[in-house]
Amino acid sequence: MCDAAPDRFATYKFTVTATNGEQVLCPGTITVKDTVTTCDFALGGGPTYSTFGVAAGKSWTPKSLGSWDGVDVTLYDYPQSMIGDTIDTAMAGRHMAWLQSLLGPYPYGKAMRLVVAPTYWLASSTRATSCSRRSW
């Protein structure tokens, strides 16, 4: 269900306690201390339905995909997926520039996290953190 007032933006801050060795990802600013991750979305640009999401895992390897029109993009991938090898970062950067020329600045901060996750997460997606799966 979409928000009937999409011009009202949500801000929130919450903490997630994970098991030792788990990495927690979420939109906004992430702060980690021991097994506690704080997710702080204090940005003024995100509607609730597209900014709230949490993912936790033990096997991701982060890989910088560079800056796409001022947004630092990181892929959190499983080594065997090979998804990182299929991303055309130059094209993605041009696409981000085109989107920002149409819609304005990226409203979810200066970081985007792309996450490879199991099939049961396939529908999990926010504008600041997106999950995808490739068969391997």
Whether 111 and 74 have beta carbons less than 8 Å apart is answered as yes
**Residue 6 counted as domain residue:** no
Q: Write out the residue range of the structural domain in which residue 71 sits.
A: 12-132
**Residue 93 counted as domain residue:** yes
Count CB atoms within 10 A of the CB of residue 55. 18
* Count of the separate structural domains present in the chain: 1
**Residue 5 counted as domain residue:** no
Query: Scanning the structure block, which residue is given the tokens 């995100």?
Result: 46
Q: What is the pTM of this model?
A: 0.78
**Residue 1 counted as domain residue:** no
In this prediction, residue 45 carries a pLDDT of: 67
**Residue 2 counted as domain residue:** no
In this prediction, residue 11 carries a pLDDT of: 81
In this prediction, residue 72 carries a pLDDT of: 95
**Residue 62 counted as domain residue:** yes
Q: Which portions of the chain are predicted below pLDDT 50?
A: 123-124, 135-136
In this prediction, residue 6 carries a pLDDT of: 60
26-132-107-9 Cα dihedral, nearest 10 degrees: -60
CA 85 to chain centre: 19
Number of H helices, E strands in the chain: 1, 9
- Within the chain, what is the greatest distance between any pair of CA atoms? 43
